[in-house]
Amino acid sequence: MTPQEISVRKKQEAAGGEQTRPGRTFVPDVDICETTDSLWLWADLPGVDERSIAVNLADGVLAIEGQVSLDEYEKLKPVYTEYNVGNYARRFSLSEHIDGSRITARIVNGVLELQLPKSAAAQPRKIPVAAA
């Protein structure tokens, strides 16, 4: 095991801009992988259900926002905590090679999964060679 696999990383609080919601906003951790026909993005959004997630695409910017209900935490008096509760927000600039009309999203166990299909022009293709 490498040291990175066992080190603890603190949540990164979102900086800049004015907040429109009360409470803290964090930057969700993401993994992004590429296949021949799509990019796949997984974002950790613990405590966020499907009714509290907004995924929007405007002017080539993909915005992910998740809101955590703080109702169940209001009456608690923390003794020790490593899990910071708050909202989530992250933005990505997409290349023109992503087909925005075919993006899909689903959440499973607090992980948001997005499929960002590549446009036909961005996908590899075999070019036939003709004999002269």
Rounded Cα gap, residues 31 and 76, in angstroms: 32
CATH for 23-71+80-121 (2.60.40.1180, 3.30.1360.30, 2.60.40.790, 3.90.79.10): 2.60.40.790
Q: Quick: pLDDT tens for 40-49.
A: 999 999 889 8
CA 21-44-94 angle, to 5 degrees, is 80
Instruction: Give residue 31's pLDDT.
Output: 94
Domain ranges of the chain: 23-71+80-121
Residues 6+ apart with CB under 8 A from 53: 45, 64, 65, 66, 67, 105, 107, 112
Tens-place pLDDT, residues 60-98: 999 999 998 877 777 888 788 777 778 999 999 999 899
The whole-number pLDDT of residue 33 equals 95
E-strand spans in 9-109? 12-13, 25-27, 30-34, 38-44, 53-58, 61-66, 87-93, 104-108
Q: Give yes or no for a contact between 50 and 66, defined as CB atoms under 8 angstroms apart.
A: no
